[in-house]
């Protein structure tokens, strides 16, 4: 196996950019030439990564031309599948030898035709144990579990800059939407900050897809939506309208992935009451790799991270199945976390900083086994079994 093509469906969200870049970089380091067929700018990353991947982009045009002539590429092609196991629009026109699916899905009401297409693939790579179990329960036997990784060159324990030395910093990251649970963070921090005026909420909630921001309208914890700006969202204004006092919030806006680690290290704790993660929550993994203690909801893709660190993270144990609560079978497995339990976890970390630091150190050690190098190696081994 000397080449692997990487093709993400047009319209997939920004997390795939980080994934695609790291997959391609690690393939190159292993002597496998990646062929990047992604739409838009597939590189991202830092200048050294971009330099290493220039040849992969150069290879894309002749590969696409071959497919346009009806040829299949003579090497494996990794296809990013959409939610509900959605196959890309180009399916049938662009193919490899063999075709392999890679999926992080959030809704479990997968159409019968998508399942039938999936059965014909020699391999589907699932990005979380939850995804793998759902597919197995639906009768698929061609599934391999290969979670995403973290880049230890960027995400590792290191000294803080000390920007917030007199504050207890609570970090919340991920694109702003109902699924990610930032409304639960707001409800909990509003109560916590009243007890502890030194608490500071640091957010990285950039989301250019306003339709997914609008899903917060179903939340009981917040009112309204943040106002769109030319370069993002008016997060601090919106949080003030939802009861967070001036000076209690810092919004980071859109931060390049390669530049975010120093900001994460300023946090005393990171909170993720997410309702669903099709993958293993890259932002949470990056916090853990930096040695930041985390609060994780016990559902969906978070289950893999909780298993990795055992008792050494703060867990939101109370989970109410949103498929049952909402009457929407598509949300089966999604978990609704309780504001009061998140407040209790914050109080625990605030009262015992040594415990929080120990848990952060254990998480950082665990994430060393979750490097992109190791995770891409496992994925390539799975592909080699069918190539």
pLDDT digits (tens, 9 = 90+) for 37-71: 764 444 456 777 777 677 777 777 888 788 888 88
pLDDT digits (tens, 9 = 90+) for 133-164: 999 999 999 999 999 999 999 999 999 998 99
Cα-to-chain-centroid distance, residue 51: 25
> At what angle are helices 339-351 and 353-367 packed, to 10 degrees?
100
pLDDT digits (tens, 9 = 90+) for 6-44: 776 443 334 556 787 788 888 888 888 888 776 444 445
Q: Which has the closest alpha carbon to 20: 34, 33, 1, 3?
A: 34
Helix (H) / strand (E) element for 349: namely helix 339-351
Which residue has tokens 């597939």? 42
Gap between the Cα atoms of 338 and 188, Å rounded: 9
Q: Which has the closest alpha carbon to 143: 129, 126, 127?
A: 126
How many residues can be counted in the chain? 387
Structural domains of the chain sorted by starting position, each given as residue range(s) with its CATH number in brackets = 3-149+371-384 (3.40.50.2000), 168-369 (3.40.50.2000)
Q: What is the pTM of this model?
A: 0.94
Which residue has tokens 């370069």? 231
Q: Which has the closest alpha carbon to 181: 273, 98, 111, 115?
A: 273
Gap between the Cα atoms of 240 and 217, Å rounded: 17
Q: Is 198 helix (H, G, I), strand (E, B) or coil?
A: coil
DSSP-assigned states of every residue in 14-44? THHHHHHHHHHHHHHHTT-EEEE--SS----
CA trace torsion 131, 133, 135, 141 (10° rounding) = 130
User: Could you tell me if 271 and 349 are in contact, meaning their C-beta atoms sit under 8 angstroms apart?
Assistant: no
Cα first-last separation, the chain: 8
Gap between the Cα atoms of 172 and 269, Å rounded: 9
Query: Could you read off the pLDDT tens digit of each residue along the chain, which spans 387 residues?
Result: 788 887 764 433 345 567 877 888 888 888 888 887 764 444 456 777 777 677 777 777 888 788 888 888 898 999 999 999 999 888 888 889 999 999 999 999 999 999 999 999 999 999 999 999 999 999 999 999 999 999 999 999 999 998 998 999 999 999 999 999 999 999 999 999 999 999 999 999 999 999 999 999 999 999 999 999 999 999 999 999 999 999 999 999 998 888 899 999 999 999 999 999 999 999 999 999 999 999 999 999 999 999 999 888 999 999 999 999 999 999 999 999 999 999 999 999 999 999 999 999 999 999 999 999 999 999 999 999 998
């Amino acid at each position: 196996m000397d080449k692997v093509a990487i093709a993400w469906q047009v319209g997939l969200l920004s997390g795939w950019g980080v994934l695609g870049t790291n997959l391609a970089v690690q393939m190159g380091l292993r002597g496998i030439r990646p062929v990047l067929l992604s739409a838009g700018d597939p590189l991202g990353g830092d200048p050294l990564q971009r330099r290493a991947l220039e040849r992969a982009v150069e290879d894309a045009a002749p590969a696409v031309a071959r497919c346009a002539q009806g040829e299949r590429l003579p090497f494996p092609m990794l296809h990013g599948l959409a939610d509900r196991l959605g196959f890309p629009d180009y399916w049938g026109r662009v193919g490899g030898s063999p075709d392999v699916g890679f999926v992080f899905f959030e809704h479990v009401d997968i159409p019968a035709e998508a399942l039938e297409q999936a059965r014909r693939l020699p391999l589907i790579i699932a990005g979380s144990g939850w995804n793998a179990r759902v597919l197995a329960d639906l009768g698929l036997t061609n599934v391999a579990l290969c979670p995403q990784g973290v880049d230890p060159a960027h995400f590792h324990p290191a000294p803080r800059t000390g920007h917030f030395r007199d504050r207890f910093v609570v970090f919340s990251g991920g694109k702003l939407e109902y699924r990610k649970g930032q409304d639960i963070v707001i409800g909990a921090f509003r109560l916590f900050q009243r007890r502890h005026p030194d608490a500071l909420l640091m957010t990285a909630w950039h989301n250019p897809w306003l339709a997914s921001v609008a899903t917060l309208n179903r939340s009981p914890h917040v009112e309204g939506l943040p106002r769109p700006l030319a370069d993002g969202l008016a997060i601090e204004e919106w949080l003030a309208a939802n009861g967070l006092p001036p000076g209690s919030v810092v919004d980071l806006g859109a931060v390049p992935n390669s530049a975010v680690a120093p900001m994460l290290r300023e946090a005393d704790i990171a909170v993720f009451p997410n309702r669903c993660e099709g993958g293993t929550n890259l932002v949470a993994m990056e916090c853990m790799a930096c040695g930041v203690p985390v609060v994780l909801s016990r559902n969906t893709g978070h289950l893999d991270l909780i298993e990795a660190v055992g008792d050494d993270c703060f867990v939101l144990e109370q989970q109410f199945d949103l498929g049952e609560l909402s009457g929407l079978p598509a949300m089966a497995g999604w978990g609704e976390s309780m504001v009061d339990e998140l407040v209790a976890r914050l109080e625990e970390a605030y009262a015992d900083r040594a415990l929080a630091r120990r848990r952060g150190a254990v998480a950082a050690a665990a994430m060393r086994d979750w490097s992109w190098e190791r995770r891409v190696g496992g994925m390539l081994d799975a592909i080699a079994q069918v190539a």
